[in-house]
Structure 1
Amino acid sequence: MQDSSPFQYIAIDQISESKTNPRQTFDQAKLEELAASIRPHGLIQPIVVRPKEKGFEIVAGARRFRACQLAEEFSVPAHIKELNDAEAVEWQLVENSQRVDVHPYEEAQGFQRLLDVPGYDVAALVEKSGKSASHIYARLSLLQLIPTVAEAFVQERITASHANLIARLPQEHQAIAFENCWRKDWQDKEAHLLPAKHLSAWI
Structure 2
Amino acid sequence: MPSKSSFFSANAFGSRTIDDQAGPGSIYEAPVESIVSNKYQPRQYFSEKPLQELAASIKEHGILQPLVVVKAGAGYELIAGERRLRASKIAGLSTVPVIIREASELQKLELALIENIQRSDLNPIESAEAYQKLNDEFGLTHDEIAKKMGKSRPMISNAIRLLGLPPEMQQALAEGHITEGHAKVLLEIHDNDKRLALFRRVLQDKLTISDTAQEVKRVEVNRHTRKISRDPNLEAHEERLREALGTKVTIRRRGKNGGEIVIEYYGEEEFGELIEKLTS
TM-score, normalisation: structure 2: 0.62
Match of 1:45 in 2: 65
2:89 is equivalent to residue 86 of structure 1: no
Measured at CA, do residues 177 and 51 of structure 1 come closer, stay the same or move farther in structure 2, by a change above 3 Å?
Answer: farther
Please tell me whether Structure 1 or Structure 2 has the larger radius of gyration of its CA atoms. 2
| TM-aligned CA distance change 1:38 to 1:150, over 3 Å | same
Distance 1:189 1:104 in 2: 19
Structure 1 residue 28 and structure 2 residue 48: aligned? yes
Of 111, 127, 135, the match for 1:107: 127
2:203 aligns with one of 182, 185, 192: 182
By how many angstroms is 1:11 displaced? Answer: 0.8
1:9 maps to 29
SS at match of 1:9: strand
The Cα RMSD (Å) is 2.6
How far apart, CA to CA, are the structure 1 residues paired with 2:130 and 2:191?
22
Aligned to 1:149: 169
How high is the sequence identity, in percent, across the aligned residues? Answer: 32
Unaligned runs of at least 5 residues, structure 2: 1-23, 224-280
Residue identity in the other structure for 1:90: E
Matched, 1:62 2:85: no
The structure, 1 or 2, with the larger RCO (C-alpha pairs under 8 Å, 6+ apart) is 1
| TM-score between the two structures when normalised by the length of structure 1 | 0.83
**Which residue of 2 is the match for residue 127 of structure 1?**
147
1:114 Cα deviation from its structure 2 partner: 0.8
For residue 119 of structure 1, report the CA deviation from its aligned partner.
4.1
* 1:161 CA displacement: 2.5
Q: Which runs of 5+ in 1 are unaligned?
A: none
Deviations 1:26-83 (A, max 9, x none): 2322212211111134212111112224522211110111111111110111112222
Aligned amino acid, residue 114 of structure 2: V
Shift of 1:186: 5.3
**Structure 1 residue 98 displacement after superposition:** 1.3
Using the TM superposition, name which of 87-96 and 173-182 deviates more.
173-182
